Structure 1
Amino acid sequence: MSAIAKEVLLNAFNMNCVGHIHHGMWTHPQDRSTEFNQLSYWTELAQLLERGLFDGLFIADILGVYDVYQQNIALTARESIQLPVNDPLLLVSAMAGVTQHLGFGITANLSYEAPYPFARRLSTLDHLTQGRIGWNIVTGYLDSAARAMGLNEQIGHDRRYDQADEFLDVAYQLWEGSWEDDAVLADRQRRIYADAQKIHKVTHRGEFYQVEGYHLSSPSPQRTPLLFQAGSSARGIQFAARHAECTFVNHATPAVMKAQVDKLRTAAVAAGRQRQDLKVFMGVGVIVAPTATEAQDKYREYLRYASPEAGLAHFSSSTGIDLSRFGLDDPIQAGPTQAIESVTQTYRGWTRRQLLEQHAMGGRYPLVVGDPQQVADTLLQWVDQADIDGFNLTRIVNPGSYRDFIDLVVPELQARGRYKTAYRAGSLRQKLFRQQDRLPHSHPAAGWRLGASLPV
């Protein structure tokens, strides 16, 4: 092993719903996904992941429903394609209460949030978790969400990112610039809890937001939560280069992924940051067993429960294209949509038959099947050849997929010196970047800190 070989970072990728990525697997007799609305389901999962030294639990979320395929929600409801879906933020306190180190990356759509109360919610979670909270910044892509929120249609793709830039600027002012570090005195003798001279009003007059007020939370361990983002369009890369600390990217081969990672890191440098300021995660599913034969047997068994058509219905909403309109072998052609731009461009010209084959396990994420050595070989090939930092590990059968990985793959990665054997101390940011709890000075949020030169 090279002396500079990366230590693999690992998040569990999940969602507060029944069907997340690998659709249809909720019907497997060993799957517990239908228990998603029970607190014990989440606390037991958090404890399992901490046993496996996972860096975090990354919880996806959507607003709206998948109603593009066949122009209704019939298949969505029947297969529980991210419907029903509950709020992910409300899970964190309970899971934090039964763990000490596991981080929590929570998805929240800023297009339908107001920065002032939202900043307080994340500060509250950062306090309660002692600095283990992250925010996966999304702007949404479902027209059904826009209609539910009172809009005739979704805001344009690039325009959503313009709004997101301003949202983050407001949030940074609240998190970084409203309270000084020593504002809280908690002095019983002098009856001074906080020094008013060290609490500052935020006044923002922008295109999308008008804010005048004091941040409602005192400084939390990280102040600004660890910032995740998933967007590969030109505008998404521009946004990630400025704001993201961790980004979530998928491509078919290490070579193509390497080009995307280079583009992201180069954009970060152009934005005044360092290449190492950005950690890149890839989504992957793993089916592992003690032997390769057993793993292949397990894979064939899982295929009997998966729903490729449900995966296609999910994909339809990701692209904004009703794929049920195309024959099995007709190339998929459609005009521009306001959905996920990078996905739409990647799969333009594919046929429905090709997409159904790709979604054999109910989702389009790369799948690694094998014994522990084979799985470790493949994962490390991605890390070393594509220059990624880690993985968002999907659930196939929950929690069995995570348990198998922890019992079989984690020891193999540890034996190769590529996975930690104990948690480091500190906040989620400190654990991942081996730096202080707060954002580095190269990040634009640091410009709002008191005593710094404010951004123009």
Structure 2
Amino acid sequence: MPREIRVNAFTLQSPVHQTPGLWRHPEDRSTDYNRLEFWTDLARILERGLFDGIFTADSLGTNDVYAGTLDGALRGGIHVPKNDPLLSLSAMALVTEHLGFGVTSNAIQEPPYAFARRMTTLDHLTKGRIGWNIVTGHSASGARAVGAELIPHDQRYDVADEYLDLVYELWEGSWDDDAVPRDKASGVFIDPTKVRPVRRQGGRFSTDAIHLAEPSPQRTPVLYQAGASGRGRAFAAQHAECVFISGPTARALAPIIADTRRQAAQKGRDPAELLFFSLATTIVGRTEEEAQAKLADYRRYIDIEGALVLYSAWTGIDFSLFSLDEPVRHQQQEAGIHSALEVFTRADPNRVWTVREIAEHVAIGGRGPVFVGSPGQVADAIEHWVDEAGVDGLNLSYALMPGGFEDFGTLVVPELQRRGRFKQRYAPGTLREKLYGPGRARLPAAHPAAVSRRPQTPG
């Protein structure tokens, strides 16, 4: 029986995410990113289309690698201005019942104690539909924004390991499941014997306090992670439930996925429970001709400089110093996302990309593939991609906002349903239960977070 394909909508609270220049298109609403109704409208669209969730990128960094300035990013609105995505989630949760919310937060720049409370609060308010995309930062500008220096690549993951150990203790170990009886007859709201402080001194993070929020439906949010470098894969194998991965060809992704699953098995986890979501963009019409006409129209608006602003920031390499027809070769870099360069230079040895080709590719949909055609053609392409790469679903980007998501839900979802590759309705329960099945609101015992759980105090 073919596997069900899962789909998240990939967004950023900024005028430009993966499509520099397309904000100028007359049908695009991206410039309304700072209006709450923009996000509640989008949430309704996604739930109508049976999307599993909305996956929101974020960082404190700015794209200032290209030409050594922020000018290109400012001119094109490339990830600036950029709002805090957490503040809109409660409103989106209020107008939906099932849509999941994966939100990005930096495990180096966000204080863990306050962050743990914030995520528990969101898990309560969404009725268990919150997920956390764990990032460690890749830009020097983001480090400078908080008065720090960029930590070397692999060491950033060491810091994140320590961060996670602490938030796991807060989420999983500070309160017993039955610590809050709310007993009006006795006047006991919380049983003091079933709440304990987390005491951690030394290292990078310290605390001596109880978790301020009572246990939420999932306790620990669903854990997303996007590391595809060697150290990133080891981190994902240890902690992640859902792994976001991106590359221009399926051949570039398959070995990364296989290696991450292998490492997860070595750590005692079920490798099949790591769900991989691959970046992709769809441009769909009712006919192939209509879809190709859309693509030709969109290409009139792309911003090549903006695409190179993005790719320079992703890789840490200033592509203003290269000619557009120069082949891109692999080089060592400390800043940037290591996999962003590797997928274009090493992962597929049969393909040599020029700077221009990468810019044109990045300009619509970022580092993933773009599937263009009729509903049947796009469904064919998605099925082939998912099966060849071995991913479980897509983090779907867009050419136009929100039209790209509307077209997918209206045109592609029914075709995938007809083929038995997409759900007919949402499963009940929390986000984790929707992903893994009923009764799975909590992380499994094989996950390292389970170490923080204590035997429940007798009543």
TM range (shorter): over 0.9
2-side partners of 1:172 and 1:360: how far apart? 39
For residue 401 of structure 1, what is the amino acid of its counterpart?
G
2-side partners of 1:398 and 1:445: how far apart? 37
SS of 1:194 mapped into structure 2: coil
Shift of 1:234: 0.7
2-side partners of 1:21 and 1:64: how far apart? 16
SS of 2:189 mapped into structure 1: strand
2-side partners of 1:359 and 1:87: how far apart? 24
After TM superposition, the structure 1 stretch with the greater mean CA deviation from structure 2, 15-24 or 331-340, is 331-340
User: How many percent of aligned residue pairs carry the same amino acid?
Assistant: 49
Q: Is 1:232 aligned to residue 235 of structure 2?
A: no
Residue 402 (structure 2) aligns with: 399
1-side partners of 2:358 and 2:10: how far apart? 22
8 A Cα contact 1:307 1:362, kept in partner:
no
Residue 109 (structure 1) aligns with: 106
Residue 446 (structure 2) aligns with: 442
Q: TM-score, normalised by structure 2?
A: 0.95
Task: From 65, 71, 90, give the equivalent of 2:68.
Answer: 71
SS of 2:433 mapped into structure 1: helix
Deviation track 1:346-387 (CA, whole Å, cap 9, x = no partner) reads: 445854233233335373321000000000011111222222
2-side partners of 1:43 and 1:308: how far apart? 31
For structure 2, the 5+ residue unaligned runs are 346-351
Shift of 1:206: 4.1
For residue 274 of structure 1, what is the amino acid of its counterpart?
D
8 A Cα contact 1:306 1:362, kept in partner:
no
Shift of 1:442: 0.8
8 A Cα contact 1:173 1:202, kept in partner:
yes
For residue 258 of structure 1, what is the amino acid of its counterpart?
A
Residue 37 (structure 2) aligns with: 40
For residue 342 of structure 1, what is the amino acid of its counterpart?
S
Residue 364 (structure 2) aligns with: 361
5 Å-filtered alignment, 1:200-215, equals: 200-215=196-211
8 A Cα contact 1:311 1:362, kept in partner:
no
5 Å-filtered alignment, 1:290-369, equals: 290-332=286-328, 335-348=332-345, 350-361=353-364, 363-369=366-372
Q: Is 1:189 aligned to residue 185 of structure 2?
A: yes
2-side partners of 1:448 and 1:287: how far apart? 45
Residue 172 (structure 2) aligns with: 176
2-side partners of 1:97 and 1:362: how far apart? 29
After TM superposition, the structure 1 stretch with the greater mean CA deviation from structure 2, 68-77 or 29-38, is 68-77
2-side partners of 1:297 and 1:201: how far apart? 61
Residue 418 (structure 2) aligns with: 415
For residue 180 of structure 1, what is the amino acid of its counterpart?
D
Task: From 425, 450, 455, give the equivalent of 1:451.
Answer: 455
5 Å-filtered alignment, 1:23-172, equals: 23-151=20-148, 153-172=149-168
Shift of 1:305: 1.0
2-side partners of 1:298 and 1:329: how far apart? 26
Shift of 1:332: 4.6
SS of 1:46 mapped into structure 2: helix
Task: From 234, 245, 252, give the equivalent of 1:249.
Answer: 245
In the TM superposition, structure 1's runs of 4+ consecutive aligned residues that sit over 6 Å from their partners are none
Aligned residue pairs total 448
Residue 349 (structure 2) aligns with: none
2-side partners of 1:420 and 1:242: how far apart? 29
2-side partners of 1:335 and 1:395: how far apart? 31
2-side partners of 1:359 and 1:300: how far apart? 16
1-side partners of 2:6 and 2:271: how far apart? 17
For residue 281 of structure 2, what is the amino acid of its counterpart?
G
Deviation track 1:403-423 (CA, whole Å, cap 9, x = no partner) reads: 111110000011111111111
Evaluate the alpha carbon distance shift between residue 186 and residue 90 of structure 1 in structure 2; reply closer, same or farther with a 3 A threshold: same
8 A Cα contact 2:249 2:368, kept in partner:
no
Q: TM-score, normalised by structure 1?
A: 0.96
